[in-house]
Each structure stands twice: as C-alpha cells, then as structure tokens.
Amino acid sequence: MKVLANDGISKAGEKALKDAGIEVLDNRVAQDHVISFINDNKVDVLLVRSATKVRQELIDACPGLKIVGRGGIGMDNIDVEYAIEKGLYVINTPTASSKSVAELVFGHFFSLARFLHESNRLMPLEGETHFDAMKKSFSKAYELSGKTLGVIGFGSIGQEVAKMGISLGMKVIVLTRKPQKKVLTLEFFDGQSLNFEITSTNDMDAFLKEADFISINTPKTNEYIIDTPQFEKMKDGVYIVNTARGGVLNEVALIDFIESGKVAGAALDVFEKEPNPEVLLLMNPALSLSPHVGGNTVDAQEKIGVELAEQIIKIKETIK
C-alpha cells in the first residue's frame, strides 16, 4: 500500500505507517498534478489537510485510490458523499486538534481582555516615549474569571472551550441548533477529575444577552450565524473569537459594531476571503488576528498523524 501525504504528516504518523509495511511518499504535489502523480505512482491513500482539494474530478480520474484522509475536523475540501458512493474510505481526525484550537481561543481572549494584541504592536514603537500614556490606556482590562462564556457549537472543540472556561471560573452557556445535554470531565494532574453537566440552549436571543465572551466553534455554514441582528442583541462590551470557518460571522458588520463600541474586541483565526483577508480587518487595532493556525501545534499534528495511521492500518487489514 502506498500513501501520499500531500500536505504533510507527522514523524510519528509516518513511522507508524512504515512499521506496518506501508510506503509513505513525502512528495508535495501541486493541485494540477495530483491526479497524474497518483496514477503514475499507483497511490492507494491520499492524505490532505487544507491545501489539497479532493473533488469529483480527482476521484473519477484515480480509480486505484482506496482511501482519502483529512488531517483535521472539517471535510469541506473533500467531496465526501461522492467519494463514499464511489467506494472509497473517507477518514479524518475529529478530536485530535480540539485542545489546540481551544487553547488558541483563550490565547485570543486573554490578549483582547488585557490589550496584549495592541500593546505588543505599540511597545516597540512607543514604549520608550509614551510608556505612561500606554499604561493608562491599557488599564481598563478585565479578568475572565466570573464572566459568562458563550460557546456556539458543542462538538469536540466547543466542549474543550467549555472545559477551559469552567477551569478559569467562568459561567458557561452553550448555543446549539437543538438543545442537548453533555457531561464534561475535567481531569487534573494528580489523577482527580470532576464532572460538569451542561445543557445547551437554542434560544439565540437569551444566549447573546448573557454572554460576555463568545467563542464560535461550528462547522462551515451557508449563511452567517452572527450578523447585524445578532450583534445588536449582544451585551455592550462583548468579546468575540472565531476559530470556526470564514463566513460564519459577518466581518463587515463586525467592524461596524467595534466602531460603535458594542463589541469591545474580536479575534479572527479564519476569514471570509482567506488567504487574502480584507485590509480593514488587518489594520484594525481592536482585532487580534492569526493566520488559520487553530490546530497547528506540534502536539496536535502528532496526534493527527498517529490517528490517521491507525485508521489506515485498520482499513488495510479489512481490504486484503
């Protein structure tokens, strides 16, 4: 069996595959040449992340392909249903990067609440000449403890965000399309654990009126979850982080509500026009920004690689 990890795979994942007698090709093939490479090299498994697209054309043109894998949660760059119809196995790693994304959410929340995103830009430029003025302007900061964390979406990432909020002493509320109940387990360094039962709501208005900090953790949507009507119903001075997908939040409306003071600050890891975000977003001092790196930690990539390898090895045994 041959595996093309076209967008990369961790060393641990590569080792697991090789130990199972599976050949791993470490080539990086441009999208236009992926089909010919797969066919010329008799590739059985194509592994991708965000860069490589697996559309119907590729699936039809590569009859020898047996498995398509996505290193991560979202599968919007793969025509999943079509691939399954054509008899391919489609795999992903829905929980491997959840902690990494959740930690980024709180990295942005802390940065916004303490003005770190802005002070890190200004200190090198004005720290020597305007130190006291900046100290005063950045003094109206907030703790997260005791505040209400609103989590939109209750999948694996949303659950990790909720658990981190609980650990910081926040009140956690969750918004889902249909109310649901989940038990979250917080595990500690000494082996102790605590269970917290969370029941989500589908009452958007009540949710928005209560939340001080909002984290969006949903799959890709066809329309905005957060648009002008939703912004209008939020608390004054709310903080928002989007690590989900570009297009779940109206970025133009976001700027308007930042300028009006309704939104105290926001963070974006994903963008509607990715990979070319609007300049107005990039230049806005009330925004904390990152280039779609939610799951990009060494830890997450190790887990992703190993989980993909384990699934491929298991499938290999079934199709002998």
The residues assigned a catalytic role are 245, 274, 292
Structure tokens belonging to residue 268: 């974006």
Helices (H), the chain: 11-19, 34-40, 56-61, 80-85, 98-113, 116-126, 131-137, 156-167, 204-210, 228-232, 251-260, 279-282, 298-318
Task: Report the run of H or E that residue 173 belongs to, with start and end.
Answer: strand 171-175
What is the Cα–Cα distance from 130 to 45, expressed in whole angstroms? 57
Please state the length of the chain.
Answer: 320
To the nearest 10°, report the CA torsion of 227, 230, 231, 236. -170
Structure tokens belonging to residue 66: 């047996």
Gyration radius of the chain over CA positions: 22
Answer yes or no: are the C-beta atoms of 189 and 175 closer than 8 Å. no
Query: CB-side exposure of 164: number of CA atoms within 13 Å?
Result: 23
